[in-house]
Structure 1
Amino acid sequence: MADDRIGPALTAPLASLGLVLDDLTVVPAGRRRVVRVLVDRDLSGLAPDDTDSPVAPLTLDEVADATRVVGAVLDGEYDGPGAAGDGVDLMGSQPYTLEVSSPGLDRPLRGARAFRRNVGRLVALTLADGSSLTARVLSVTGGGDDARAQVEVPGTKKTPATRHEVALADVTSARVQVEFTRPGDAGAPYGPDGPDGQDEQDEQDDEKEDDGGH
């Protein structure tokens, strides 16, 4: 199926933009198909001992660049870095709508990369033993089943902040919490949609009409 080839075909072109493919779905919508692509920043360039530096959110321009590259790959017209020989039209003659965006705040965090990307953010965690806590992610170490996060539960007027180490393998649910302000930060860099602002919610939609050559 063409769908099975889309993910591998996007890997190298997105890498040339410093991005990775986070998720891909292709669903029918009447006579069309909707191709939804989530892209995220590639963290492979971080130093091995860099466990806690902030990761910049994707900008609208970066999402727009990703949209152009993904569309060109799907239509067999991409000839930039990471191009794989002769272009192949992966979508065929059936028209489609392309939606490219970055992961939104409502997307559950899964795995070390997702937690590393959200260092500095407040996250609601549910653990395998049934306990839960809302804490700020301070750092992430390791990978796979050995990944661990250092988190801090914010203090109150009556209780001090407390730090915990959480094995990510024990996390059954994790979601970023909306913060209008971040304690101690003048200027409130985290708006109601997180540090990404509207960038995470905005999508670059590319309508592909069946005009004989997309």
Structure 2
Amino acid sequence: MTGKPVDAQAEAQRLTEYLRPAVASHDLLLEEVEIRYSGKQPTVHVVVDHAEGTESVDLDTIAAVSQSVSTALDADPNDSGAPYDLEVSSFGVSRPLTEPRHWRRNLGRKVTANLSGEENVTGRLTEVGEAGVVLVPDVPVKKGMKPKTGDPVELSFEQIRRGKVEVEFNRPDHGPDIVDTIVDSNEEEA
């Protein structure tokens, strides 16, 4: 950090490349570096994530990455020694789903797919492949009636502009056979 207000975007890009090895040493990906100038000193916000898998980054790992990033920033040859705040976090539920690995991480959750030139689709994410995803959409029902699901919908990543996880406070616990369960329940109702 140079310590003085600079082009935050250019400095964030420089820091992204500079900090990538420090984050990679923890087997994580550096998703984003953002610099916010407010108050007396800037805040460097670093977002990390697993390259694969569905597990989230635990707090112990965040603490270890934070220490590594802090050490790297202290050793930065472009660092002026000016104070800054450092925030390290992981991919959160409010972040858009833009990469196939983001979709894989949310397998089994209710998501909304924002499609190019088509109506959005909201449903349970049941499958993520190389070329796209499968959602089992919600079918609108009258208030007080048991929710129903529609037929699975295949969407290619080319169709999807981005996705969003829908927060569920009473999320059903779906195991690995979610597609079979949903299809079986629809066949029983027919």
TM-score exceeds 0.5? yes
Task: Give the equivalent residue in structure 1 for 2:6.
Answer: none
| TM superposition score normalised by structure 2 | 0.74
CA separation of 1:184/1:141 partners in 2, compared to 1, >3 Å: closer, same or farther? closer
**Which structure carries more helix by proportion?**
2
Task: Give the equivalent residue in structure 1 for 2:159.
Answer: 170
C-alpha distance after superposition, 1:57-82 (max 9, x if no partner): 11111111111111111111xxxxxx
Alpha-carbon distance in structure 2 between the residues aligned to 1:176 and 1:160: 18
CA separation of 1:98/1:37 partners in 2, compared to 1, >3 Å: closer, same or farther? same
Task: Give the equivalent residue in structure 1 for 2:172.
Answer: 183
CA separation of 1:172/1:68 partners in 2, compared to 1, >3 Å: closer, same or farther? same
Alpha-carbon distance in structure 2 between the residues aligned to 1:91 and 1:168: 40
Task: Give the equivalent residue in structure 2 for 1:204.
Answer: none
- Aligned-residue Cα RMSD (Å) equals 2.4
Q: Is the 8 A contact 1:125 1:133 kept in 2?
A: yes
% identical equivalent positions: 30
What SS does the corresponding residue of 2:104 show, helix, strand or coil? helix
CA separation of 1:96/1:181 partners in 2, compared to 1, >3 Å: closer, same or farther? same
Alpha-carbon distance in structure 2 between the residues aligned to 1:97 and 1:90: 17
Per-residue deviation at 1:2? 5.4
Alpha-carbon distance in structure 2 between the residues aligned to 1:117 and 1:185: 14
Alpha-carbon distance in structure 2 between the residues aligned to 1:106 and 1:74: 28
What SS does the corresponding residue of 2:72 show, helix, strand or coil? helix
Task: Give the equivalent residue in structure 2 for 1:57.
Answer: 56
Aligned mate of 2:42, from 15, 33, 43: 33
Larger relative contact order (Cα-Cα within 8 Å, sequence gap ≥ 6): 1
| Higher alpha-carbon Rg | 2
Aligned mate of 1:129, from 117, 121, 126: 117
Task: Give the equivalent residue in structure 2 for 1:75.
Answer: 74
* Count of residues paired in the alignment: 161
| TM superposition score normalised by structure 1 | 0.66
What amino acid is the match of 1:60? L
Per-residue deviation at 1:185? 5.4
Task: Give the equivalent residue in structure 2 for 1:80.
Answer: none
Aligned mate of 2:80, from 82, 92, 95: 92
Segments of structure 1 that go 5 or more residues without pairing to the other structure are: 44-53, 77-87, 187-214
